[in-house]
Amino acid sequence: YVLHLKASFWKLRGFTVKNALKGIVADGACNNLIDGLLVTDLGEEGIHFRMFSKHNVVRNCEVSHTGKKNPGYGEAIYIGSAYSNWPKYTDGKPDQCDSNQVINNKLGPYVAAECIDVKEGTTGGIISGNTFEAQGITGANSADSWMDIKGNHYLIINNTGYNTQPSVLTDGYQVNCAYEGWGSYNKFINNTCHVNADGYGINVRLKSGKGEAIGNLVYADNKVNGAAKGVTNIDIKNK
């Protein structure tokens, strides 16, 4: 790792993170501010909140050229841990990386996996005002959207996504139930999606072998261009 953050109430401002396997990994780190960093040229993910890292803010950062060694692990920002890793990191408990905020960042191009991956076990984050660029998404490890949301009660608002070739983007945003009880009650409000691909602007995958994604809301003010299947596959909510 370039920087392994295992402390709370720190402010990281205005420097560059590059040339390692992972950029910033936060373990048990709470109430930190990551502000105005350039995160680039990494073998895997750029910024990762893990092991009960809560109430952190990432804002005004640029993340690009991730996943250069392992494209399937090349997320720009990664929140939580997959349930298969809970025994390793959290003694088998859900990795409750809750109430983290991702605000006004530029994520992409050449982020090999999703711009943001929100894992099961996490709750109550805010994703707002970000710009996503799909150019360079590889499709490795099923990465074919700007965001993959598997947590609960996330607010995804005022973001703008672009799809510039080459990329393998299918949908702008995807909601998935990767573990029973998760992937639910997320809200999408006033996002602008330049999808230019075969799927939806916001694809809520309602059922999987792990359970059902319920209570997700896609509001009518989301703007979707070039999505062959339309805005979303669920009923659109009027405010």
Q: Is the pLDDT of residue 229 over 90?
A: yes
Radius of gyration of the chain (CA): 16
What's the chain's average pLDDT? Answer: 97
Is the pLDDT confidence value at 231 over 90? yes
pLDDT at position 166 is 85
Count of CB atoms within 10 A of residue 37's CB?
24
pLDDT, residue 209, reads: 87
pLDDT band of 184, cuts 50, 70, 90: very high
Beta pairing partners, 57: 33, 101
d(CA 28, CA 53): 5
- Confidence grade of residue 195 (pLDDT, cut at 50, 70, 90): very high
Count Cβ atoms within 10 A of the Cβ of residue 113 and give its class: 0-12 exposed, 13-18 middle, 19 or more buried.
buried
176 token code pair: 């998935």
Cα–Cα distance list, 38 to 3, 13, 107, 132, 163 (Å) = 13, 10, 10, 15, 21
- Calculate mean pLDDT across residues 114-128: 98
Six-digit token pair at 40?
């680039």
- Amino acid found at 113: A
The CA-CA-CA angle for residues 20, 89, 141, to 5°, reads 60
- Residue 165, pLDDT above cutoff 90: no
DSSP assigned state of 140: G
Q: Which of 14-18, 206-210, 212-216, 229-233 has the lowest mean pLDDT?
A: 206-210
pLDDT (0 to 100) of residue 239: 78
Q: Which residues pair with 107 in a beta bridge?
A: 63, 132
Mean pLDDT of 31-48: 98
* Band (32; pLDDT cuts 50, 70, 90): very high
pLDDT of residue 205: 95
Q: What pLDDT, on the 0 to 100 scale, is given for residue 26?
A: 98
Cα–Cα separations (whole angstroms), residue 149 to 1, 77, 146: 25, 12, 10
- pLDDT band at residue 87 using 50, 70 and 90 as cut-offs: very high
CB 65 within 8 A of CB 42: yes
Strand partners, 16: 38
Over residues 13-21, the mean pLDDT reads 98
